[in-house]
Amino acid sequence: MRVKRVVLVGGLVLATALGVAGGYYAGVLTKPPYPVASGVPAPLGQVTTSPTDEPLPIKTPEPNKYEALDPDTLEFHRLEFTIDLVQNDQGEDPPPVRLSVRVPKGWKQTLTEKGEAKFTDPTGTRWIRVAPVYPVKQTPRQKRDQLVPSLQSSIPHEQVFKVLSQSDDVPVGIDEQKRRVSKLTYSYIPAKWLRPVIVEYVATADEDAANFEMSVTGFPQDQAALNLIAEKAAVSVLPQD
């Protein structure tokens, strides 16, 4: 599969967060919760309010009706596809990126309006988004540390953004080579449900800087399964020649 992906500023994650806040995220696709991430993206502006605007009341999450994803029943398979990065504002014309990654079986693959690969569960309420990073300049930790303040300033206060955890790891990938992975787990309430989000920046074996980013979204009761999905993706994503 070959897809066009616009190279923008902000990342998959930031796009993700802003997208969810706009309703794009609650099951359908808004943009991403990515911080919007991240994930990834023409530069995304920060959300601002007029000094005369009254702050909205803090949201209280409503219960959701979905059973928890069981990590023991998840099966994974490897998919390979190509993303064509579109010329950016600096006139750079990056080459297409072919990559492979392991994702849950039975999850539908689609392409977002920005060209990231998105895999959605049968209920349409959980997903993983994967995208190449361009340009490849910052380490996974630098990308993660840059994302946190972006999310803090971009997600409206009434959506109750909370950082749940941050970590840096050097796992061995499926290529049997060490790679660097920096992870951020946060939660917020984009609509009516509390949403945990895992964002990962990955530098594969031949890279000093992050060359892939991904975000996984679901419900609080899914946390163990979301962790597994994120882990499988982080150690399996690979550039393909």
Predicted confidence (pLDDT) per residue in 134-192, tens digit: 889 999 999 999 999 999 999 999 999 999 999 999 999 999 999 999 999 999 999 99
Bond into 135 cis (ω within 30): yes
Residue 51 placed within a domain: no
- Its domain, for residue 136, covers 2-42+68-239
Q: Name, in order, each residue with C-beta under 8 angstroms of 44's C-beta and a sequence gap of 6 or more.
A: 8, 9, 10, 14, 15, 18, 36, 154
What mean pLDDT do residues 57-79 have? Answer: 96
39 against 61, higher pLDDT: 61
Task: Please tell me the predicted confidence (pLDDT) of residue 94.
Answer: 76
Name the nearest CA neighbour of 38 among 124, 121, 120, 155.
Answer: 155
Q: What is the CA radius of gyration of the chain?
A: 17
Residue 34 lies in a domain: yes
For residue 76 the two structure tokens come to 């994974």
Residue given tokens 């398979």 in the structure block: 77
Can you tell me the distance from the alpha carbon of 190 to that of 58, in angstroms, rounded to the nearest whole number? 11
**Structural domain total, the chain:** 1
Is residue 48 in a domain?
Answer: no
The per-residue pLDDT for range 91-128, each reduced to its tens digit, is 677 778 899 999 999 999 987 767 689 999 999 999 99
Specify if 58 maps to a domain.
Answer: no
Residue 26: predicted pLDDT: 34
Instruction: Quickly list DSSP for 125-147.
Output: S-EEEEEE-SS--S-HHHHHHHH
Is residue 36 within 8 A of residue 12, CB to CB? The reply is yes
Cα pseudo-dihedral 64, 152, 150, 84, rounded to 10:
0
Residue 91: which CATH number?
A: 3.40.1000.10
Kindly state whether residue 50 falls inside one of the protein's structural domains.
Answer: no
> Could you tell me if residue 158 is inside a domain?
yes
Q: At residue 169, what are phi and psi to the nearest 5 degrees?
A: -140, 160
**pLDDT, mean of residues 71-98:** 83
The one-letter code for the residue type at 36 is V
Residue 122 resides in a domain: yes
Count Cβ neighbours within 10 Å for each residue of 91-109 and write b for 16 or more, e otherwise.
eeebeebbbebbbbeebee
Residue 12 · residue 39 · CB < 8 Å: yes
- The answer to whether position 92 is within a domain reads yes
Residues 123, 135: contact at Cβ < 8 Å? no
Give the side-chain half-sphere CA count within 13 A for 159. Answer: 26
